[in-house]
């Protein structure tokens, strides 16, 4: 093993076993050629007088799984091929990044955190709700939580090869996610990242660029006023869209496909387009009850729209997951479509297309995403 990596792991071991100073830690990403270990957050807890470590992982739907373990579990954690470690102690923060060549880079700052060891689970965050960034951009508690959960999902999917990344956030509005993504990816993960926010409203562009300037981020991020469909972009490695209105989500996904983005993360907003098309249309028998009442039609339209988006992407060979990125009490618009180009066998692509064609024919709908992809 590389001597620097050995030293870095020894430093991490000392910090994780420091029963007086450890505040929290997180480990994620995977080293080149290794299987991805599950992203894990760690914090010290005292249970019935015993000092333990609380490990938090997530199930397939992103729901937290928490277990308390003895400190000896640190050895097993350090043996996993994580590419990134981030440890906060009472007086310092240490980030370790392991490159694809197996070299370890250690970044230390003198910024510490507050130790909480009560058994009650404290919510862990990539960016804490009291991070000064949120105050600077003016995000309320609900948005802070959405942004943090959204970024957590991004964090778990991103590779760690350290290549420069261009992230585009479509329909960025006040750019809470855009700024948080830049701060987290460049500051915490130390990636070479540039971020573009695309927003149809010119006044938002002016406002967001001014905030970027004020925060000292202007060298790494900028905003353009245009539609997601037409914004002039040099490319995109990562596409984000958090509640981009109605078919703006389709525009973002289609741009992601056209720009050959490595990842598309879209948490859709309202789905008026298909809901309108279902109104008054004849439902295929015996499914009339699904669309007879307004609220059921709306919910069914949500489901049908996202199912058709997923099928279209799968028919293009994408690996797709549709999941819940945050609990519904924080926002009813809590689904997330994640997609990345994959080497899907032709038979599966064809099967997805057949299923798509059958659904649109039976329900008599014309999804916006298909139109955008066909003109792509």
Q: Which residues bind ligand SAM (CB under 6 A)?
A: 143, 170-174, 176-177, 198-201, 227-228, 242-245, 248, 251, 269
- Which has the closest alpha carbon to 25: 2, 50, 51, 45? 45
Cβ-proximal residue to ligand SAM, closest one: 173
Give the nearest distance from C-beta 156 to ligand SAM in angstroms.
Answer: 20
Antiparallel, parallel or unpaired: β 221-225 and 238-242: unpaired
Cβ neighbours for 267, distance < 8 A, ≥ 6 positions apart: 146, 150, 241, 242, 243, 325, 333, 334, 335, 336, 337
Both tokens assigned to 276: 């309108």
Distance CA 16, CA 269 (A): 40
Distance CA 197, CA 177 (A): 9
Give the nearest distance from C-beta 301 to ligand SAM in angstroms.
Answer: 18
Give the nearest distance from C-beta 276 to ligand SAM in angstroms.
Answer: 16
Give the nearest distance from C-beta 322 to ligand SAM in angstroms.
Answer: 18
Q: Which is nearer to ligand SAM, 37 or 171 (CB)?
A: 171
Q: Given strand 165-170, what is the order of strands in its sheet?
A: 221-225, 193-199, 165-170, 238-242, 263-267, 335-341, 318-324
Give the nearest distance from C-beta 173 to ligand SAM in angstroms.
Answer: 3
Give the nearest distance from C-beta 146 to ligand SAM in angstroms.
Answer: 7
Give the nearest distance from C-beta 242 to ligand SAM in angstroms.
Answer: 4
Q: Which is nearer to ligand SAM, 200 or 308 (CB)?
A: 200
Cβ neighbours for 343, distance < 8 A, ≥ 6 positions apart: 317
Q: Which is nearer to ligand SAM, 85 or 179 (CB)?
A: 179
Q: Which is nearer to ligand SAM, 95 or 269 (CB)?
A: 269
Q: Which is nearer to ligand SAM, 308 or 326 (CB)?
A: 326
**∠ Cα 328 252 227 (to 5°):** 115
- Which has the closest alpha carbon to 194: 175, 174, 166, 168? 166
**Are 190 and 95 spatial neighbours (Cβ–Cβ below 8 Å)?**
yes
- Three-class SS state of 138: coil
Q: Which is nearer to ligand SAM, 155 or 199 (CB)?
A: 199
Q: Which is nearer to ligand SAM, 252 or 310 (CB)?
A: 252
Distance CA 2, CA 96 (A): 14
**Are 141 and 129 spatial neighbours (Cβ–Cβ below 8 Å)?**
yes
Give the nearest distance from C-beta 376 to ligand SAM in angstroms.
Answer: 16
Q: Which is nearer to ligand SAM, 145 or 243 (CB)?
A: 243
**Are 88 and 25 spatial neighbours (Cβ–Cβ below 8 Å)?**
yes
Q: Which is nearer to ligand SAM, 26 or 305 (CB)?
A: 305
Give the nearest distance from C-beta 176 to ligand SAM in angstroms.
Answer: 5
């Amino acid at each position: 093993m590389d001597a620097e990596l050995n030293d870095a792991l020894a430093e991490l071991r000392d910090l994780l076993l420091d029963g007086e100073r450890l505040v929290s830690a997180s480990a994620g990403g995977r080293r080149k050629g290794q299987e991805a270990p599950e992203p894990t957050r760690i914090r010290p807890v005292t249970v019935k007088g015993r000092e333990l470590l609380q490990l938090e992982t997530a199930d397939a739907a992103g729901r937290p799984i928490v277990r308390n373990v003895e400190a000896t579990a640190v050895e097993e954690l350090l043996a996993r091929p994580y590419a990134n470690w981030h440890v906060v102690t009472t007086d310092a923060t240490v980030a370790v990044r392991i490159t694809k060549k197996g070299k370890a880079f250690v970044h230390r700052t003198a910024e510490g955190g507050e130790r909480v060891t009560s058994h009650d689970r404290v919510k862990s965050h990539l960016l804490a709700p009291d991070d000064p960034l949120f105050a600077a951009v003016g995000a309320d508690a609900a948005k802070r939580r959405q942004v943090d959960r959204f970024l957590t999902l991004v964090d778990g999917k991103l590779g760690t090869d350290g290549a420069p990344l261009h992230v585009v956030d479509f329909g960025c509005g006040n750019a809470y996610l855009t700024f948080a993504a830049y701060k987290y990816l460049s500051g915490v993960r130390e990636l070479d990242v540039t971020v573009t926010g695309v927003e149809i409203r010119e006044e938002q562009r002016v406002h967001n660029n001014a905030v970027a300037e004020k925060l000292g981020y202007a060298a790494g991020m900028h905003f353009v006023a245009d539609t997601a469909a037409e914004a002039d972009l040099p490319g995109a490695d990562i596409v984000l869209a958090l509640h981009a209105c109605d078919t703006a989500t389709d525009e973002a996904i289609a741009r992601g496909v056209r720009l050959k983005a490595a990842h598309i993360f879209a948490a859709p907003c309202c789905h008026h387009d298909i809901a309108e098309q279902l109104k008054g249309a004849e439902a295929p028998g015996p499914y009339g009850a699904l669309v007879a009442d307004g609220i059921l039609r709306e919910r069914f339209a949500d489901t049908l729209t996202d199912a058709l988006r997923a099928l279209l992407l799968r028919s293009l060979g994408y690996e797709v997951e549709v999941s819940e990125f945050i609990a519904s009490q924080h926002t009813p618009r809590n689904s997330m479509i994640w997609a990345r180009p994959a080497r899907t066998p032709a038979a599966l692509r064809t099967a997805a297309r057949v299923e798509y064609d059958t659904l649109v024919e039976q329900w008599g709908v014309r999804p916006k995403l298909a139109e955008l992809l066909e003109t792509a």
